[in-house]
Homo-oligomer: A and B are copies of this chain.
């Protein structure tokens, strides 16, 4: 149908239910395309494939009106029952008359509940920033032929004794003074004038902290002089279209220079979008942002900077440089002030990047003077062990995006309607659960999946190897004869299907939790400590703050320690980025820290592979957690 031009200028109305939004569109437009640009309760129709008929996520139902006949894609992929009930794919179905359609909750993309904490860590800004009020500015004329700059210079010298200042092109281009104002506030950073504004304009210097993750980008708009986080926002890293994990993105970028450039552009454009939105919401301009700090793992760092990837992409995964680099925003495609400085924080080595250093810095692991384990859970999980002497060793392991809901049959991110906690009662005959926002369940997010697997394990519904017990009444064979466990039947779900966890989902989680468990084990072994030595475990990362620690211990992902030793700190890397944005002292501390951390490369270690294989198993019933941790061997 796509080549067909049905539109003769005729307009129709689509009424989207249950959100109750109506939109006028051209006859022949797809239901998906017509929904673009309107916000369906801050949600939109899910279409990760971009409307190409590939992901089958944009299921809708026609309530009233006339749509095009089902396309080949729909006939192949929807059941006869679904078609009979007027279920369609929004990307395929075209409107032929004014229509009412229903969007099941499972087809809605929620605005993501990115877990981003403010700058909660205790530190002081030391941004060398001052403001001076001057008056007596005049419009130049024959008797007073002095440039704005000469006037400001001499007024500052006369009133404050401040001399030898410079002004960059950004402030000169954007001077906001009108002709007749004699008063102005001159903002000075170091020995550079960064703003000249009328007193009525309450100028505050603006900075940007960026946590550029493999899966997510989080940004923080920060007042540089006070350290106040004005606002924050997050989005999926748009590079995800070219691979979910960093290895596949590196491989893609290595292929051609164009690919590499595309990776850089995608990340920069994502950041630009977020910055544009945040500054707009705050009534500010992107051109007010003069400083930025970026934390990222080594792959995201190299891709954004356009650095050579030939050593990073191959074992032993060595970056070109680990030193901090300051670049002009334009050089990496960011739209801030023309001369805005972007401080790319230093890396540790391998894929252990500046996000990890920022996490350690923000959570104070290195200064704790106790034995601390720091775990930043993400698509790549970084783990640090800090000794009582302040020595820190870190490693990175590929845990994959399963905790974000990816590769999970009914997985979803932690948004409204996601099951986030599960409790099985009566030997698993009944499942109690909580959803985010209290909505009817439409899928499972990472914490819910781990909860559920812990419960399945506790109730003996999965074996040590993770196999679902087909004898259990709630276990059945699903599509393709893949075993699945029923969590919530269609009747109680919010999306017209049963909510299940499949055998494949369990395997995904096994792979992820084994990588983390084996990583922790190897790092502790190499550092010569045992689980019992650990005084404190810091769990960082957006996912980590939703996680139920007991469950993660129960499935053998985290070491078995008293719960009070665990602290969930949210996006500590983002907080660290903010700290380095507003404090030069913290930046020095960060640089020293990055150099100090010993990097352990696990990917090439045979012991890691052995531990990983062992950690795939689940703990035996009644035996506490997996022997991985119990028997942690302090000898290398």
Given known contacts A148-B321, A318-B145, is B173 in contact with A306 (CB within 8 Å)? yes
Contact B311 A147 (CB under 8 A): yes
| A525-541 residues at the B interface, CB under 8 angstroms | none
CA distance A331 to B335 in the complex (A): 11
- Write the chain B residue with the least CB distance to A331: B338
Copies of this chain, complex-wide, total: 2
Cβ-based interface call for A316 (8 A): yes
Given known contacts A319-B147, A604-B142, is B168 in contact with A307 (CB within 8 Å)? no
Across-interface contacts of A327 in B (CB, < 8 A): 168-169, 338-339
CA distance A131 to B327 in the complex (A): 24
CA distance A316 to B322 in the complex (A): 54
Number of interface residues of A (CB under 8 A): 42
Across-interface contacts of A319 in B (CB, < 8 A): 147
Cβ-based interface call for A634 (8 A): no
Cβ-based interface call for A305 (8 A): yes
CA distance A175 to B309 in the complex (A): 12
Given known contacts A166-B323, A325-B172, A331-B330, is B145 in contact with A601 (CB within 8 Å)? yes
- Write the chain B residue with the least CB distance to A325: B169
Across-interface contacts of A172 in B (CB, < 8 A): 305, 307-308, 320-321, 325
A 160-194 to B, binary, CB cutoff 8 A, 1 in contact else 0: 00000011110011010000000000000000000
Contact A145 B316 (CB under 8 A): yes
Contact B349 A145 (CB under 8 A): yes
Given known contacts A141-B316, A330-B331, A338-B328, is B149 in contact with A322 (CB within 8 Å)? yes
Contact A167 B311 (CB under 8 A): no
Across-interface contacts of A325 in B (CB, < 8 A): 166-169, 172
Cβ-based interface call for A146 (8 A): yes
Cβ-based interface call for A8 (8 A): no
Cβ-based interface call for A150 (8 A): yes
Contact A173 B308 (CB under 8 A): yes
Cβ-based interface call for A48 (8 A): no
- Write the chain B residue with the least CB distance to A175: B308
Across-interface contacts of A311 in B (CB, < 8 A): 139-140, 147-148
Cβ-based interface call for A315 (8 A): yes
CA distance A125 to B147 in the complex (A): 33
Given known contacts A142-B604, A604-B142, is B328 in contact with A175 (CB within 8 Å)? no
A 132-161 to B, binary, CB cutoff 8 A, 1 in contact else 0: 000000011110011111100000000000
Across-interface contacts of A148 in B (CB, < 8 A): 311, 320-321
Across-interface contacts of A323 in B (CB, < 8 A): 149, 166-167
Q: Which of B140, B166, B331 contacts A339 (CB 8 A)?
A: B331
CA distance A318 to B140 in the complex (A): 7
In the assembled complex, how far is the CB of residue A109 from the closest CB belonging to chain B, in whole angstroms? 35
CA distance A38 to B305 in the complex (A): 40
- Write the chain B residue with the least CB distance to A139: B311
CA distance A145 to B603 in the complex (A): 13
30 interchain pairs, CB-CB under 8 A: A139-B311, A141-B316, A142-B604, A145-B349, A146-B318, A147-B311, A147-B319, A147-B320, A147-B321, A147-B322, A147-B349, A148-B311, A148-B320, A149-B321, A149-B322, A149-B323, A150-B321, A166-B325, A168-B325, A169-B306, A169-B331, A172-B305, A172-B307, A172-B308, A172-B320, A173-B305, A173-B306, A327-B338, A328-B338, A330-B330
Q: A145-B349, A169-B331, A172-B321 are in contact. List 9 more A-B contacts (CB 8 A).
A: A142-B315, A145-B317, A145-B318, A147-B319, A149-B320, A166-B325, A172-B308, A175-B320, A331-B339
Q: Top 7 closest A-B pairs, CB basis?
A: A149-B321, A140-B318, A331-B338, A145-B316, A330-B330, A328-B328, A169-B327
